[in-house]
Amino acid sequence: MIDRTAADLLAALTRGDLTSEAVTTAFLQAIRQREPKVQAFLHVDEAGALDQARAIDTRRQGGDAVGPLGGLPIAVKDVLCVRGQPTTCGSKMLAGFRPPYDATVIVKLRRAGAVLLGKTNMDEFAMGSSTENSAFRATRNPWDLGRIPGGSSGGSAAAVAAGEAPLALGSDTGGSIRQPAALCGIAGLKPSYGRVSRYGLIAFASSLDQVGPFAADVTGLAHLLEVIAGHDPLDSTSVDRPVPAYAQTVDQPLRPLTVGVPREYFGGGLDPEVERAVRAALAEYEKLGATVKEVSLPASPHAVATYYLVATAEASSNLARYDGVQYGHRAKDVSGPIADEYGRLVAMYCRTRGEGFGREVKRRIMLGTYALSSGYKDAYYLKALKVRRLIKDDFDRAFAACDVVAGPTAPTAAFPIGEKADDPLAMYLSDIYTISANLAGICGVSIPCGFTKGGLPIGLQLQAAPFEEEKLLRAARMYERATDWHTRRAML
């Protein structure tokens, strides 16, 4: 049961061949068996999930509507607020925090009849590319337990890849859905900025963050995106546009289809095995009747520098609230040679943030504070905003000539745990192909397109213009239907 796709399970539930309780029990059993190896979850709500499943079964048996996801289990990244459930953002700063409200996407999942399994591990405050920066544990890649699953949504990706959940939610600030999807051999989608509400998403960089789905295949992505997308009056950045019927159109091929291939995506740093797999995928599109043509994104080499100025500046601002007074952890021991109340207050601030934040979060706060400081804001932050506009303009020109832009999702397959932990720049370059989509506000998807000789998954990234998720999913599904990479499962 746990190897079936979300669409297959949903069809079986709708026909009455399976009950939600049986499906949920199967995935909870998989979690109990596999979690000691994978460590994808920070919290599993076993009793709550079974109660939800039984309630949905009762409604279905009584002839009541159960919603488009009626009875399907789902895992949720620990960056999203779930009422009454531990929500830590992978940080000691929020240890023990239980939100009094649901994020909008959680409200939509409940209305759609999804069964919430629990909260998945992540890099602290979504800052990282490997899920090694969690304050609680390092998640492992189900294909090779000695390697990283990607990040920051590595827990959600690993849960789906390990058969611990058929669907999962993550967040993507610079590739945090697409990169772990690629490294774990599953499908992951970053929607356009404003397509999905950010209300209840604990912020890293507010102009870049976006909630999106993980699934074993593109059809699963379509089902989940259709539920969570749409305007939200609680989020001022949410765009009021109709939500297409993604799940109904995903199997309709795009004809004609023009695939743009940026010449800048095939330079130094790209692993030869990854390049071969991506080139083979492009050849497959040609067999399917698509036109594959070269395009240029000339500002893309500056994307990493631009991202790490914009993102860290916004992080510095967003995380200022965690000071021991307003939110989060508060240092208890402020003893020592402190002369006055002012000194004790400063000591409390310093020790609170020193104890509550991990090394990577501190690094990014300091980088962002420096970039926004007097005398440096014009030279760094404002210039980065100008380059961000150039990156968006590049994509606009590319999409005038093609339907989707294709290339690698990540420059390499999953690397060993700890290999890049002491080399931040090397870690940041893991997102070199994904961060541009966040800077430009466009949508992107990663789907499996092969394996290395060592048996590690490789991802193909497709990107489309803002709010063209329907086109993006259809283009991705065309390749998926013609290949079997998405049917491979990690053996645990």
Half-sphere exposure of 105 (CA within 13 A, CB side): 31
Contact 411, 429 (CB under 8 A): yes
Tell me how far apart the alpha carbons of residues 475 and 481 are, in angstroms, rounded to a whole number. Answer: 10
Contact 203, 197 (CB under 8 A): no
Secondary structure (3-state) at 219: helix
In the chain, the largest separation of any two C-alpha atoms, in whole Å, equals 76
Contact 105, 211 (CB under 8 A): yes
- CA dihedral of residues 302, 305, 306, 308 (deg, nearest 10): 150
CA-closest candidate to residue 371, choices 302, 436, 312: 312
Active site residues: 77, 152, 176
What strands, in cross-sheet order, belong to the sheet with 187-190?
Answer: 41-44, 115-120, 73-77, 167-171, 211-215, 187-190, 443-451, 457-464, 404-408, 258-262, 291-295
- Element containing residue 307 per DSSP (H, E): helix 303-318
Half-sphere exposure of 97 (CA within 13 A, CB side): 24
Secondary structure (3-state) at 357: coil
Q: Locate the DSSP E strands across 49-186.
A: 73-77, 115-120, 167-171
Neighbours of 68 (CB within 10 A): 17
Tell me how far apart the alpha carbons of residues 42 and 124 are, in angstroms, rounded to a whole number. Answer: 12
Phi/psi-derived region of residue 293, left when phi > 0, alpha when psi is between -120 and 50, beta in every other case: beta
* Torsion over CA: 64, 67, 73, 79 (sign): negative
- Element containing residue 445 per DSSP (H, E): strand 443-451
Scan for tokens 């803002």, then name that residue: 466
